[in-house]
């Protein structure tokens, strides 16, 4: 049984336990590092798998390995380490980017519900211009609105005071910020209903050299795969 839980005391003396929360890490990138976005816009793009819907992404899918991005990549990795060590409580010494790519969503484009396979932590750095209607990312609770319960409940119209009834939560598009989340977390990008391109740098991140645990026989050493 977990030692720490989120508690919500009710006025009748009862306690509500908020079990198994999924933490999303958001941070503002220092302005002097955000200039790397100028380099992002010089990259050649190709259409995604769903032409006309998914949008485009850079042909270079290892963008943060480029010398123009070194300072930004180093700073992001310090944030990854803090998120992994202090929030997710993962036990790895170092982390590394697997793939990093620039993603654009033009007006009318979106990205359907998905997760990021072969990755532990994923992130997106938002840049460029966006108004208050520019879509960023919408997260879904594990059942994604598709319930396995026998009964499908009817909810109150205003559910904001109770996070326990939320099926989705949207993080706003704020240029100059980065959003990190566990790669297994279901999410999608809503339709871009603005006149501007939604721009971001997406990232997948793994522990450096290995993943899993040797004692539970789940260890995968990348240099020992035969």
CATH of the domain at 43: 2.60.120.620
| Structure-block tokens of residue 74 | 């180093």
> By residue range, what is the domain housing residue 49?
22-145+163-208
Task: Read off the pLDDT of residues 22-65 as tens digits, 9 standing for 90 and up.
Answer: 999 999 999 999 889 999 999 999 876 555 578 899 999 999 99
Instruction: Give domain status of residue 105, yes or no.
Output: yes
Domain-embedded: residue 103: yes
pLDDT in the model for residue 9? 84
Beta bridge partners of 96: 206
Predicted local distance difference test score (pLDDT) of residue 151 = 65
| Domain count of the fold of the chain | 1
The reply to whether the predicted model has a pTM over 0.75 is: yes
Residues of the chain with pLDDT under 70: 1-5, 48-52, 143-151, 159, 161, 226
Q: What is the pLDDT of residue 11?
A: 87
With respect to residue 218, please indicate whether it lies within any of the assigned structural domains: no
The C-alpha angle with vertex 112 and arms to 110 and 115, in degrees rounded to 5, equals 125
Residue 77 in domain: yes
Instruction: Decide if 111 is inside a domain.
Output: yes
What is each CA distance from 91 to 83, 86, 88, 198, in whole angstroms? 12, 10, 9, 35
The pLDDT of residue 168: 87
Q: Which among 196, 189, 194 is positioned nearest to 53, based on CA atoms?
A: 189
How many Å separate Cα 201 from the centre of its chain?
Answer: 11
118 lies in a domain? Answer: yes
Residue 1 lies in a domain: no
Whether 226 maps to a domain, the answer reads no
Cα–Cα distance between 92 and 212 in angstroms, integer? 10
């Amino acid at each position: 049984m977990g030692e720490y839980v989120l508690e919500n005391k009710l006025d009748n003396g009862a306690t509500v336990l908020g079990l198994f929360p999924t933490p999303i890490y958001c941070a503002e990138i220092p302005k002097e590092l955000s200039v790397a976005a100028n380099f992002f816009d010089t990259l050649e793009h190709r259409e995604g798998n769903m032409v006309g819907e998914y949008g485009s992404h850079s042909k270079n899918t290892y963008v943060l390995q480029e010398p123009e991005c070194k300072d930004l990549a180093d700073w992001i990795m310090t944030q990854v380490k803090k998120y992994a060590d202090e929030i997710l409580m993962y036990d790895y010494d170092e982390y590394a980017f697997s793939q990093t790519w620039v993603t654009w969503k033009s007006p009318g484009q979106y990205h359907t519900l998905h997760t990021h396979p072969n990755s532990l932590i994923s992130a997106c750095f938002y840049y460029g211009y966006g108004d208050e209607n520019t879509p960023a990312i919408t997260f879904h609770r594990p059942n994604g609105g598709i319930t396995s319960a026998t009964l499908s409940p009817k909810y109150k119209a205003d559910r904001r005071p109770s996070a326990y009834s939320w099926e989705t939560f949207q993080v706003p598009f704020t240029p100059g910020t980065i959003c990190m989340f566990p790669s297994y977390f279901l999410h999608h990008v809503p339709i871009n209903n603005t006149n501007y391109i939604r721009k971001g740098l997406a990232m997948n991140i793994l522990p450096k050299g290995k993943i899993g645990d040797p004692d539970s026989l789940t260890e995968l050493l990348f240099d020992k795969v035969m």
